[in-house]
């Protein structure tokens, strides 16, 4: 009887030991030395900035995915009042008469392209979005579409490795190509129509301007960006912006966006009946 009990006990112990040796920890289970073999340690609380709050196993976001509507958290509507310019750049700047800033004039006496519904151009679009509007990124395999809420404008950022055109036809938003450097989306643009202003203060640019933007998604709800302007004819050194911060706005879908087209006929009616009389100009 004792022999049978001894044999059964040894067999049970061998089975248990065998199970412990072959077992592997499950996700959230940490193997640790302890009496009796593997000891189960409770997993640490989920802390992951890419995760939907309260759900550690779903909703993870790839930092290379910039899709969504982004709205300003910090940023300015201009390049600033202390931008260094060449004599040619200064002369062009002084010829522009803005309705904002220290050189502001009544809009009817100014020459801001916005007052006639002309396209704003890439840099001013970027600054405007950071300063109060929103934009949306829509990603595809070979391109990213950036949709600007103001005036319902958009541009294409190519990701297929194409080179810039050698003799481009000038565009309001230029030609853009993008690439990833780690978790930063880098966009280079050239081929700009020089009629646009860079900001609401009237900073000018030439058709040879180059712009580089750098976007980094630092967590699920935060996107930071900077941009660099290189235009030696008007600016003796590259202009590098400060860091702009945008927040993901999951509630703002296509149906929620304000349809902010700039309609020339409506703008002209406003100018003739409100803007111009406010500056003492007669109605036509």
Q: pLDDT tens digit string along 83-132?
A: 999 999 999 999 999 998 999 999 999 999 999 899 999 999 988 765 56
Please, which residues have CB within 8 angstroms of residue 20's CB and are 6 or more apart in sequence? 36, 37, 38
Model's pTM, two decimal places? Answer: 0.76
pLDDT value for 10: 47
Which runs of consecutive H residues, i.e. helices, occur in the chain? 2-22, 87-95, 122-131, 264-270, 276-278
Average pLDDT over residues 240-269: 79
Q: pLDDT tens digit string along 23-59?
A: 444 444 444 444 445 555 555 555 555 544 444 433 4
Closest CA relative to residue 211, chosen from 114, 127, 98, 136: 127
Q: How confident is the model at residue 179 (pLDDT cuts 50, 70, 90)?
A: very high
CB atoms within 10 A of CB 62: 10
CB atoms within 10 A of CB 79: 20
Distances (CA, A) of 67 to 38, 110, 120, 123, 253: 44, 38, 23, 21, 12
Closest CA relative to residue 22, chosen from 39, 38, 40, 43: 38
pLDDT higher for 19 or 149? 149
């Amino acid at each position: 009887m004792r022999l049978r009990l001894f044999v059964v006990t040894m067999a049970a112990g061998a089975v248990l030991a065998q199970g412990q040796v072959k077992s592997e920890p499950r996700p959230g289970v940490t193997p640790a030395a302890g009496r009796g073999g593997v000891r189960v340690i409770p997993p640490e609380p989920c802390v992951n900035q890419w995760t939907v709050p309260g759900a550690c196993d779903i909703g993870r976001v790839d930092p290379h995915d910039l899709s969504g509507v982004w709205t300003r958290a910090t940023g300015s509507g201009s390049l600033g009042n202390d931008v260094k310019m060449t004599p040619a750049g200064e002369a062009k700047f002084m010829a522009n008469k803005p309705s904002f800033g220290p050189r502001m004039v009544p809009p009817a006496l100014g020459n801001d392209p916005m007052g006639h519904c002309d396209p704003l151009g890439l840099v001013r679009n970027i600054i405007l979005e950071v300063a109060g509007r929103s934009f949306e990124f829509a990603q595809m395999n070979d391109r990213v579409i950036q949709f600007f809420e103001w005036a319902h404008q958009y541009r294409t950022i190519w990701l297929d490795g194409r080179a810039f055109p050698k003799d481009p036809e000038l565009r309001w938003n230029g030609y853009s190509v993008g690439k990833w450097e780690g978790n930063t989306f880098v966009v280079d643009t050239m081929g700009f129509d020089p009629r646009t202003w860079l900001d609401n203060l009237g900073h000018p640019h030439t058709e040879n301007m180059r712009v580089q933007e750098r976007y980094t998604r630092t967590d699920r709800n935060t996107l930071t960006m900077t941009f660099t302007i290189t235009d030696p004819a008007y600016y003796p050194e590259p202009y590098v912006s400060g860091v702009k911060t945008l927040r993901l706005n999951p509630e703002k879908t296509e149906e929620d966006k304000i349809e902010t087209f700039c309609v020339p006929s409506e703008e002209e009616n406003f100018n003739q009946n409100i803007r111009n009389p406010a500056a003492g100009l007669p109605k036509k």
